[in-house]
């Protein structure tokens, strides 16, 4: 098999994985990710982040910024529509409940490169 054929197969497989990931996420799972999350950015400043479920899709944004659509990579990991998969958000579960979200920015050109752990704010 040639390198070109292998590359075509890999691209087709990745496209299928992404297509299946987006179509197979249960709306109740996406709804469970919605809420307010707080943590510290890579500079150590407090940040507040919100995720919302709207029209069958998940959106996220820093407070006071415009929401952006999150594209699924798998059931719990997403990337913002404006970014490559070098910027990811992974929702972390404990005993079946969402407890935090890990925002990871591996884009070398980003001013905010690093990892942020955002704890979900529980309703009182």
Q: What is the pLDDT of residues 105-119, one digit of tens each?
A: 876 666 667 788 999
Cα–Cα distances in angstroms (integers) from residue 113 to residues 64, 85, 116, 121, in the given order: 21, 13, 10, 24
Q: What is the pLDDT of residue 62?
A: 87
Q: How far apart are CA 105 and CA 37, in angstroms?
A: 17
Residue with the larger pLDDT of the pair 52 and 110? 52
The 10s digit of each residue's pLDDT in 57-108 is: 999 998 888 999 999 999 999 999 887 767 899 999 999 899 999 999 876 6
| Helix, strand and coil percent figures for the chain, each rounded to 5 | 25, 45, 35
Q: Are 38 and 119 in contact (CB under 8 A)?
A: yes
pLDDT over 60 (residue 8): no
Number of separate domains in the chain: 1
Which CATH number goes with the domain that contains 92? Answer: 2.40.128.50
Question: Which residues constitute the domain of residue 33?
Answer: 3-120
């Amino acid at each position: 098999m040639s390198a070109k054929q292998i590359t075509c197969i890999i691209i087709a497989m990745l496209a299928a994985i992404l297509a299946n990931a987006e179509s197979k996420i249960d709306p109740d799972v996406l709804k469970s990710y919605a809420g307010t999350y707080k943590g510290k950015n890579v500079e150590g400043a407090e940040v507040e982040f919100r995720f919302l479920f709207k029209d069958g899709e998940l959106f996220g944004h820093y407070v006071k910024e415009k929401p952006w659509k999150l594209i699924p990579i798998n059931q719990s990991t997403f990337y913002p529509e404006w970014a490559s998969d070098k910027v990811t958000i992974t929702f972390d579960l404990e005993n079946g409940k969402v407890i935090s979200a890990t925002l990871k920015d591996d884009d070398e050109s980003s001013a905010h490169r690093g990892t942020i752990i955002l704890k979900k704010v529980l309703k009182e």
